[in-house]
Every structure is written in C-alpha cells, then in structure tokens.
Structure 1
C-alpha cells in the first residue's frame, strides 16, 4: 500500500541562487491577478518550490509571510499531482486584497496549467 506523504522536506525546496537562476533563464510562465509562476523541468523525480515574494511589491513582512505560507501549503497538497518541475512563485500586489480561498484556487489553477505546459515542451 503506497500512502502519500504530504510533507515539505528540504529536498522539495529551491535553496541555492543557481537553482533560482536556472528557473529565471528560460521559464514556462503562468500569470493571473494574484501570482506569477515560473517553471522549468528538473532532473529529479519530484517537483521543487521556490518563493520570490518581493519586498518592493508586498511591503509588510506579515503579508509576505502569509503569502509564502499559502503558496507552501498549496504546493504541499498538490505535490503528488505535479511532474518533475522547479517552480518559483512570485506574488502580485492584488494578492494582498484576496481571501485565502481565492489564493488557493488561483494556485491550484497555476499548478495544473504548469504541468500541462511543461509536459508539452518536453
């Protein structure tokens, strides 16, 4: 019996600047009013998440942290549906005025969109 583990261990995170740079060079993009997600295929057998919530866009640390928690939680729940991609999540200013439910729905659409686009490119 294969039980899915819904954790977020360090191997599912982008940590080094070189890993982020790889995603920013030639990404597959997905955008809406709340988020912009960039993705590229990786050589691992699991997806990885990076967060780039700019202080210039989202001024308060409390708000940035809330958006990061929302993105991490959404990724944690969707990780088994994703292919082997590296994803960087960037927030937009409108994300501050959105409810947590709207943000979760937005991210769910982005995960599906990125999987479809990355599969078609590779």
Structure 2
C-alpha cells in the first residue's frame, strides 16, 4: 500500500446535508452500545463516511475530536475492503467513558457487518 492509498481525501467524506439525509432515509443499520452506524449503497466505487457526534452526548470538544480521529482512522484503514457505500456514524452514550481500543474493536465489527448487510440489501 502506498502513502496515497492510506490518505483520507475529501471525496471519502459526506459533507452536504442532502448526502446525510439520503443515508438517514433508508439505512442499513448496525448498532451496539457505543455506536450506531447507518449505511446505504451509493453510486460511487468507494465508501464515504460522515460523523454525527452530539455535544449533548460527548460534552468536551477534546473528547469528541478524539472519537472522530479514532473513527476516521479505523475507516481509513478498512476502506480498501469496502464497496461503494455511504456510512453515517452516530456516537452513543456508552462511548463517553470507554477506551479508544474498545471503540476501535467495536468499529471493526461494524465495518464487517455493514459490508455483508449492504451486499445483501442492494
């Protein structure tokens, strides 16, 4: 894998409200005590990700940013194995006081689950 393959370019991010709404309208879900991931097949040949981390759940910006970095890094490392799918990651209350290693493990399970669910849902 080259440095370019490991990059996280803007094309891999959901940015517009319409992109988020599309995923929220008819999602394939994967949920555990730390995260709820919503996914929907897209017309792109690569996966894209959007994050929704409420201040109400994770109050400190430093903690929200750490969780965002963890989610993005996990996605970046896994994206080569994913089909064209749009994913929105919602953080749940339990993630607040949990180690980043446990959150990474949780995300790994979600990525695998979503890939198989989206393949059968299409």
Q: CA RMSD in A?
A: 1.2
Residue in 2 that maps onto 1:41 = 41
Aligned to 2:85: 85
- Quick one: distance in 2 between partners of 1:97 and 1:33? 12
Unaligned 5+ segments in structure 1 are: none
Please list, as runs of the form range in 1=range in 2, the aligned pairs for 1:1-122 lying within 5 A after superposition: 3=2, 5-122=5-122
Cα displacement (A) at 1:57: 1.3
Q: Secondary structure at the match of 1:66?
A: helix
TM-score (ref. length: structure 2): 0.95
Find the aligned partners of 1:46 and 1:87 in 2 and give their Cα distance.
11
State the number of aligned residues: 121
Return structure 1 stretches of 4+ with deviation > 2 angstroms: none
Gaps of 5+ in 2: none
Separation in 1, partners of 2:42, 2:31: 21
**Higher mean displacement: 3-12 or 88-97:** 3-12
